[in-house]
Structure 1
Amino acid sequence: EFFYENIQGGDFSQTKSFPGLSEHSSNFTLYYETDVWGARLSTVYRSDYITDGDGVSSDADEIGFHATTNVDFSAFYQVNENLKVTLEGINLTNVAEEQYNDSADRIYNVTTSGRTFYLGASYKF
């Protein structure tokens, strides 16, 4: 934890988490691979975290982000000795990043990148 003195230029001080660090984070990956094909499913969790806790404005004592859980997928298929096809999906659950303003938890900004898919092929000469 980090001690912030004189928040918002006043006589108010608080102990808050260190900027940029979540209290909890975890990831889990389930995969199966052979020489011919493989698939991988991953999930990543990050709890709330602050980016600034030093009174960034007159009406906010901190800025931070809410917790997120992202799910990604990837797979490959080795068509023959030379050709490999791959498929990747990122943010399958379409999770948005929510930035909040103040410890009163006012939503400040919501960013949605959407789901992203990649289809690729590689060929060895």
Structure 2
Amino acid sequence: MKWPPHIDIRFKSFYEEVFRILLCELKNVKDLRFSIAGLSQHAGSPVQWISHDEWDWIAPWEGLASSRSWRRLEIAVPRAWVPEFEGVVQRNSVVEEQKRYRLVVGSDGWPRGW
């Protein structure tokens, strides 16, 4: 399975469906912290992103952020990936900053029991 900057087609299908459920079926949710766990270890060297790969990762976040007025919408990624995803958001986000999700530090590895 490929991880950032690439997104495996099988994972992409699952990833998009999870966000579709949040978007369409759980319309009353206004306070959410969504954790993306299990990303590969990041060595700290800059990632060579391709624009469509960047968009594949953040498009669901963008759609969710635009869908309603949020009290809190946080996307949690492992600490080493936060700067990379912050760059992706800065380059690609179409949601105005005040309405955008917040990127936050999440789990650095597989949570216990996975």
Specify the TM-score bucket, using the shorter chain as the normaliser. Answer: under 0.3
Q: Which has the larger radius of gyration?
A: 1
Structure with bigger strand share is 1
